[in-house]
Structures are given as structure tokens and as C-alpha cells.
Structure 1
Amino acid sequence: MSMELLMTLPILLVVLLGLFEFTWLFYARGMVVEASRAAARKATLPGAAVADVESEVLRLLPARFGSQVRVQAELGQYAGDVVSVAVAVPMRSVAPDLLWPIGISLAGRDLYSETRMVRE
């Protein structure tokens, strides 16, 4: 009985760590997408500036994402122009890097969301 446990325990541990890491990343992805959408809605309003869009993103994302959040906004000049807001957050600032011992690392990877809407 103990030999079977010894053989399967590392596999179960890797699966469990992968599940935890995926759950954190999936939850954070939802927050990044929502921040991107809210900022794009703000960018469609008349008189919106890039600073307003960035502050909306930072307002919606948790403080633990910190200064590593990158926001790119393209605002149109006229009504009917397409505005675009892109938000990128490094995965390592969102979730613990639990699978690095087996060669699956979050280093250099980002959670990314881009939203396009028409300016009012």
C-alpha cells in the first residue's frame, strides 16, 4: 500500500499545484478583462483622456497587481471612431509560480485583454 502511495503522491501533488495556479490565473483573467472593458467604456465618453483610462484600470484592479500593470489606449478624436484599450499584467504578480520545479514557469508571460468600442 505505501509503495503505491509513494509512486502516485508526486503526481497528485503536481496536479493539485497546477489546479491552484490555474484557479488564481483564471480569477485574475476575469479581473483584467473587466478592467479593460470598463476603461474602454470610459474612453468612449466625450472628453476622456488617456490618464482617465489608466486611472479606471488601476481603480478596478487590486493593489497587489501594483505598478506592473501596463495600459495602452488609443482614443479616437471624433464620434464614431474606434477606441482601443489594452491591459497587460505579468502572471507572476497575479499567481504564485508553483510549477517552476517541473519546468512550467510563469516568468515572462502576461495576462492580456484588449477591448474595442465606438466613441460616442
Structure 2
Amino acid sequence: MSKTVKVVIGDRLGKGQNVAKGVEAAGGIAILIPGIGADMKLGDVMHQENADFGISFCGSGGAGAVTANTKYQYPMEFGLRSVEAGVTAIQQGKKVLGFGFMDVEELGRRLTEAYLKKHGG
């Protein structure tokens, strides 16, 4: 039986729809937090949903990830600016990834695929 990956996405500007499409294309469940400032709710929603990992987007690439790490001690990597950097963070066991604005389908797909590969999906 294959594992279902649950990914929470929080974008400071209320975006993230393309990343969510990528997560779903890779067979994951995308939980997109609606509204402006969604990145700051990432840790709370991850905790409520028992998510496998979360993706935060803001200008600095870190606010939502740092907040999730501080409140729930989720292993994090922030300040990420590329798909490859995100894949490496997943391979290293990070649970919260903080990116600059990167609402692209490839990001969601590749991160989900990397998670499944690491955790036997």
C-alpha cells in the first residue's frame, strides 16, 4: 500500500495554487491555506492536519517556517530559492520548507516525489 503524503501550503500573498497542483500531480494531498498572511498559519494547520510536511512562501523565505519551527519544533530549512534546494531539504528530513515566492507546479511535484522516495511511497 502506498503512502499518501499530506502537504500544507501557506503563501504570504494568498497564492500557492500552482504548487498545490504539483503536489496533487505527484499523488499527494495539498492543503492550501487561504488568504493573505497564510504563511504565518503554516505550523498550526500542519499540526491540526497531521501533515507530512509544509511549504511557506514569503518575501524573505522564512517567516512562516521559523514560526512553525518555534511553536512545534518541526525541522526546518528556510531562505530556499530553488526546486533543487527544496528537494535537498526533504532528503535531509526537513518538515517545514521556507521559500521566497515560487508558486510553480514543478516545486510541489518534485518535493512530493522526493518525500515519497525518502519515506517509501
TM over 0.5: no
Write 1 or 2 for the structure with the bigger share of helix.
1
Larger radius of gyration: 1
